[in-house]
A and B are shown apart, each in its own frame.
Chain A
Amino acid sequence: MAWRSVVAAHFRRTEGKLTLIVAAVLAAAGVAGLVGVLSIGQRADLLTDLAERRGAVNAAAGEIYRALADADATSFSVVLVSGEQVAVQQQAFRDDIVAAAAALDYATKAVPEVASTSRINELTSAARRAYLANGALTTAERLAVLSSLLPVYTGLVEAGWVYSSRVDPVGTSYLNEASLLARETMLELAKDLRDATPPAGVDSFPWFAVTVGLAMVLLLVMIQRYLARRTRRRFNVGMVAATVLTLVAFGWLAASSVVAAANAATSAELSRTHLVPLTEIRAEARNLDGAQARALIFPLVGDLDELTTQVNRIDGKLTAVRATPLDTEAQYALDGAAVVVEQWRAAIARDFSATRPGYGEIAKAITGSEELKVDLDHVISTASRQVDQSIVDARSALAGTDVGVAVLMAVAAAAAVGGLWPRIAEYR
């Protein structure tokens, strides 16, 4: 029991208290440094994931969505054109299918999970099909389902073409079913494959790390006040240096996190206001091309209403994008797109009215132009690049911060020990 009282007596003396303080400062610096490094590391990991894995899936999703929408429109165009154009359009369709397959392959490389056979079969079963488009699926499941639907879709379209070329009416049924599969299931799955919402923690302020940093500063200040009372020296250079270094370390951490968060938020905002709606507009324009062709091939009751609704929807989305801040080039391209939409509306009203032109003339008009494709492709690729660049910027804002914080906290600890050691020595 004697050693206990010896230890207690030692720590009651100033020398002992100062030793305790050194230990506390070392521990606090260690903890603060660790928290800082982990905070930066976690954010950096999320951003790396966003840039690489999700970035890859998002880029592929855009391409799958585009390719399928184009393929859907072309599947109908093939039966409306004649001569060499048939082969040209068929090739365009096959190119889009291969592009969609390549994009699926590209995305799959970024997603390590594998959906099991039974799960894929369950998802694509007839009973589940109606809910497939709205269901909560993992990215791996989405990719697997799209991969298994793609060859079925292609088979339906090719069968539809062969029957139609033999003037067998069942060809129309095949093309209709194929289009239904593309529009109601595959395009919806591809649309939701894109996930641009930043994961929690990427765009927030690092409250915990900064609080820990401030606590560390507070601890250092309190120690200095204690020292000032005990040693009658107003400043301890080592402790002042440690305080300043801690402030610099956590100031840097906060600043780089804020810059990274701002960049991540910009990326998400750009994606939400520009990239996603523009991609949708472009795909819906292709859907409308397909719907026009279908309405000509297989005119149904209520076609004009349906087509006009689709134009209005495209118009509404385009107006919303044009209302957001845009660079000159994009503004110019989208103004052009707005004019195309107006002309389109007029063409639909003409081609599907009671006083419509002849079949051949309408077929030519429908297959002659792919509206909004040229206008939008460039704007979409620019927006896509900007979205990616913002994530890269966010990631580079954090570059070196973790190492910097660790080194600064180590130096701060050393400075504190350096400042306290002569005071302890004085009592020996």
Chain B
Amino acid sequence: MTTRRGWTRLIAVAATVAVAACTPAPRAEVPRPSAPQPQPPAVEAAQAQPRTVACKGSTASLRPDGTELTKLPRGGVIDQIRQRGLRVGVSQTAGRLSSRNLRTGAVEGLEADLAIEIARAIYPDRDPAKVPDLIQYVAMPTRDRFLALNTAENGKYPPATNVAKVDLIIADASVTCERVDTFGVRFSAPYLQTRQGLLTYRGTLGDWDPRTGITGRTVCAGAGTINLDRITKLGGIAVPVVDTTDCLVQLQRHQVDAVSTDDVILEGFRDQDPNTEIFPGVVDTVDVAAVAIANRDEDLVRLVNAVLERMRGQGMTRLYDKWFSGRAMVMPPADYEGR
């Protein structure tokens, strides 16, 4: 028995050795890579440089004299617009402010309604129901918004030379002195009061309470916005994107910890993703948003201000209620030159 078992064992060992000798090199392991993260369009363009000198321009607007809406200014930019149509730069991806219904092409939101009001003042002789067709909307990714205005300052930027020009930018543009200086913008009277807020998941993983600050957290905001600078000042890691809505994609794909921008835009984000929550009051400052116009088009600035002054009170309240119902909103006071 012992001998037979010995032989069996010997044969088994020999077979194993033979098999091992014939076996090719061990096969490569089955790879188990992790899912690549998609990336938003790269931020690489010129933006307002941090300033070392004090701001020279004025954020004050031009006072309408009250005749714009009864007697259209002739021979200038208003005449050109009446001939070729009104070009309006909108964000197009900000829910409640301006977003495009892709199937119909219609742009909807508070800013789109504002554009229609302005267009009706420019075309008082047209059928009010057909006036929206005279508006050509151009999407303004957050970063490049102000380059689309035809100003002497923008002529200095190479990218601005091959940029289609718009007459008005209504894209939640905060009024800042830097923008006046850098891009040659003239802001209208403000139509919206905003505060920079924070949007993150409804329930973070426990190691972070968004109310306690953003130190060391990656926070996304549109490139070239004041929001981005404030994130850095508050100790957060600023993640710039070309268009603010790319931030929501980044948050949903867990590539950033939070998004920080104007509360009105954040509300639009929360509408689209109920798994998010807004934390207001990250920043104490109150911003105002106004229509941005090229500083050489003074007639247009006055006309827009006339429209806004006409809407102050009832007209604007109706718009606020339509798009931000349940939110207390007041049209900010205007700051006109030569008071």
Contacts and interface: CB of A to CB of B under 8 A. Distances in A.
Contacts of A121: 33-34
Interface string B92-112: 111100011111111010000
A169 B101 CA distance: 8
A180 B41 contact: yes
A303 interface: yes
Given A169-B268, A172-B102, A117 B33 contact: yes
B339 to A, nearest CB: 35
B40 interface: yes
Interface residues of A, number: 54
A298 B268 CA distance: 18
B162 A305 contact: yes
A194 B37 CA distance: 26
Contacts of B31: 114-117, 120, 144
Interface string B290-301: 000000000000
A8 interface: no
A170 B164 contact: no
Contact of B29 (A113, A117, A152, A296): A117
A148 B33 CA distance: 8
Contacts of A170: 93, 245, 248-249, 252, 269, 272-273
Interface in A288-308: 296-305
Nearest to B36: A124
Contact of B99 (A149, A167, A300): A167
A354 B84 contact: yes
Contacts, number: 138
B246 A177 contact: yes
A126 interface: yes
B28 A114 contact: yes
A167 B108 CA distance: 10
Interface string B229-267: 000000000000001011011001000000000000000
A331 interface: no
A300 B162 CA distance: 11
A180 B39 contact: yes
Contacts of B133: 358
B69 to A, nearest CB: 26
9 contacts: A125-B36, A148-B35, A169-B92, A169-B268, A170-B249, A297-B102, A356-B136, A359-B104, A359-B105
Interface of A: 79-80, 82, 113-117, 120-121, 124-126, 129-130, 144, 148-149, 151-153, 156, 163-164, 166-174, 176-178, 180-181, 296-305, 354, 356, 358-360, 363
Interface of B: 28-29, 31-42, 84-85, 92-95, 99-106, 108, 133, 136-141, 144, 147-148, 162-166, 243, 245-246, 248-249, 252, 268-269, 271-273
